[in-house]
């Protein structure tokens, strides 16, 4: 579960806080598990929700500050992508602004729909799509810098 | 059909099943939050018997010992609180009787004649004329003294009921009520 927290948190300290909150939620809601579907997925969902709540509490999604300028012209660097390690990918996610990071994680890795993301984060579907797009562009930019 | 995104695929593949051990201390923090230690607590919570004693085993065992000792002493004290002593001296004339026997009889009657005498205890009269009945309950008693069978005193004296009565039905009562009693009893002169 710490892996999930690392992806949503900007650093290990935030990830540890999310992990702690996640376990508190897990044990307080354990009696609500209905044995429908995988326990692992249910637990993962709890931690994702804990992460989202943490980000919502500490950051404002609608006013994310862009760390990188979205550049539509950045080309995909397949070599960089194939050589990059999981650790470096994690660092890239953590560099993203909280809003981009949350949407990116939820859409790309957790397979949430934009509607679901919007409901969870309290934003519109359009904002969710927009932030995903910007997140991907930011990642492309970071990959480009890795290659250099 | 959604265009394949290699970046998304890369992230998805890399983080599928991704897990990492959290830094040391995180689990302890979680454990603390789930099961907070009682800690020293407030002034009054320190006197919560169970947690305080389990944190102080020496005090716990000393307390158990103290309680047990108190119970023992209380049992002995209250158990024998009403057990009293009748003691005294037997005389043959003006001289202390040189050996004999003393018998105590318990009386249930409230008025004479004392018909309901029940033998209660016997004691020896020693060479100094002393006798003693210990752990006697509150109540009314009759006392009989007699010299040793083959002693010199039997030639001149008869056994007597306290004090110098030949018969038991009208002699003096010894009433024991929450206090020891000292009795000076005399034989009857022939």
Question: What's the pLDDT at B184?
Answer: 92
B7 → closest Cβ in A15, A24, A140:
A140
Of B37, B63, B78, which residue sits at a domain end? B78
Q: Are residues B146 and B168 in the same domain?
A: yes
How many domains, in total, are found in chain A?
2
Q: Is residue B4's pLDDT more than 90?
A: no
Q: Are residues B92 and B181 in the same domain?
A: yes
Q: Is residue B6 part of a domain?
A: no
How many domains, in total, are found in chain B?
2
Please state, rounded to an integer, the average pLDDT across all residues of chain A: 82
pLDDT tens digits for range B166-187: 887 778 889 988 889 999 999 9
The residue behind tokens 């194939």 is A82
Compute the average pLDDT of residues B123-134.
93
Q: Are residues B32 and B62 in the same domain?
A: yes
Q: Which residue has the higher pLDDT, A131 or B76?
A: A131
Q: What is the CATH number of the domain that holds A39?
A: 1.10.1740.10
Could you list the residue range(s) of the whole structural domain that residue A32 is in? Answer: 1-58
B11 → closest Cβ in A19, A108, A140:
A108
Q: Are residues B118 and B161 in the same domain?
A: yes
Please state, rounded to an integer, the average pLDDT across all residues of chain B: 83
* Residue B14 at interface with chain A, using a CB cutoff of 8 Å: yes
Best mean pLDDT range from B14-18, B159-163, B165-169? B159-163
Q: Are residues A85 and A126 in the same domain?
A: yes
Q: Are residues B65 and B129 in the same domain?
A: no
Compute the average pLDDT of residues A10-34.
86
A94-98, B28-32, B61-65, B80-84: range with lowest mean pLDDT:
B80-84
* Residue A139 at interface with chain B, using a CB cutoff of 8 Å: yes
Distances (CA, A) of A84 to A70, A88, B100: 21, 6, 116
Question: What's the pLDDT at A68?
Answer: 42
B residues 137..166 contacting A (CB < 8 A): none
In whole angstroms, give the CA distance from residue A109 to residue A75: 22
Q: Are residues B106 and B154 in the same domain?
A: yes
In whole angstroms, give the CA distance from residue A140 to residue B5: 11
**Residue B158 near residue B190, CB atoms below 8 Å:** yes
Residue A123 per-residue DSSP state: -
In whole angstroms, give the CA distance from residue B89 to residue B100: 11
* Residue A147 at interface with chain B, using a CB cutoff of 8 Å: no
Q: What is the CATH number of the domain that holds A78?
A: 1.10.10.10
Q: Are residues B59 and B111 in the same domain?
A: no
Q: Are residues A130 and A77 in the same domain?
A: yes
Q: Is residue B94's pLDDT more than 80?
A: yes
Nearest-5° Cα angle at A116, A122 to A75: 95
**Residue A125 near residue A100, CB atoms below 8 Å:** no
Q: Are residues A142 and A73 in the same domain?
A: yes
The residue behind tokens 């991704």 is B18
**Residue A138 near residue A104, CB atoms below 8 Å:** no
Can you name the residues that pair with B48 across neighbouring β-strands? none
Q: Which residue has the higher pLDDT, B51 or A39?
A: A39
Interface predicted TM-score (ipTM) of this complex, two decimals: 0.76
Q: Is residue B7 part of a domain?
A: no
Q: Are residues B184 and B103 in the same domain?
A: yes
Could you list the residue range(s) of the whole structural domain that residue B62 is in? Answer: 21-78
Q: Are residues A124 and A73 in the same domain?
A: yes
A residues 86..115 contacting B (CB < 8 A): 86, 89-90, 93, 104, 108-109
**Residue A106 near residue A21, CB atoms below 8 Å:** no
């Amino acid at each position: 579960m710490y892996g999930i927290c690392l992806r949503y948190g900007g650093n290990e300290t935030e990830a540890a806080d999310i992990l702690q909150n996640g376990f508190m939620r897990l044990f307080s809601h354990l009696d609500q598990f209905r044995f429908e579907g995988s326990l692992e997925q249910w637990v993962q969902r709890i931690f994702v929700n804990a992460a989202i709540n943490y980000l919502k509490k500490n950051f404002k999604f609608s006013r994310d500050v862009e760390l990188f300028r979205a550049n539509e012209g950045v080309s995909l660097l397949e070599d960089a992508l194939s050589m990059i390690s999981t650790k470096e990918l994690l660092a890239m996610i953590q560099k993203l602004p909280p809003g981009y990071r949350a949407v990116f994680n939820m859409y790309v890795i957790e397979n949430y729909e934009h509607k679901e993301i919007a409901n969870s984060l309290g934003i519109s579907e359009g904002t969710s799509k927009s932030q995903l797009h910007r997140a991907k562009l930011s990642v492309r930019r970071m990959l480009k810098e890795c290659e250099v | 059909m959604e265009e394949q995104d290699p970046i998304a695929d890369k992230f998805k593949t890399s983080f599928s099943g991704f897990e990492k051990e959290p830094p040391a201390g995180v689990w302890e923090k979680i454990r603390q939050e789930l099961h907070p230690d009682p800690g020293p607590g407030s002034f009054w919570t320190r006197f919560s018997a169970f947690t305080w004693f389990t944190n102080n085993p020496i005090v716990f065992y000393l307390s158990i010992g103290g309680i047990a000792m108190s119970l023992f002493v209380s049992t002995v004290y209250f158990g024998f609180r009403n057990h009293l002593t009748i003691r005294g001296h037997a005389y043959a004339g003006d001289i202390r009787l040189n050996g004999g026997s003393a018998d105590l009889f318990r009386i249930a009657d409230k008025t004479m004649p004392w018909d309901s005498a029940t033998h209660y205890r016997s004691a020896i009269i020693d060479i100094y004329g002393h006798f003693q009945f210990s752990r006697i309950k509150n109540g009314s008693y009759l006392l009989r003294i007699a010299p040793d069978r083959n002693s010199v005193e039997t030639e001149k004296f008869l056994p007597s009921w306290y004090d110098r009565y030949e018969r038991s039905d009208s002699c003096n009562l010894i009433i024991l009520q929450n206090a020891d009693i000292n009795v000076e009893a005399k034989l009857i002169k022939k």
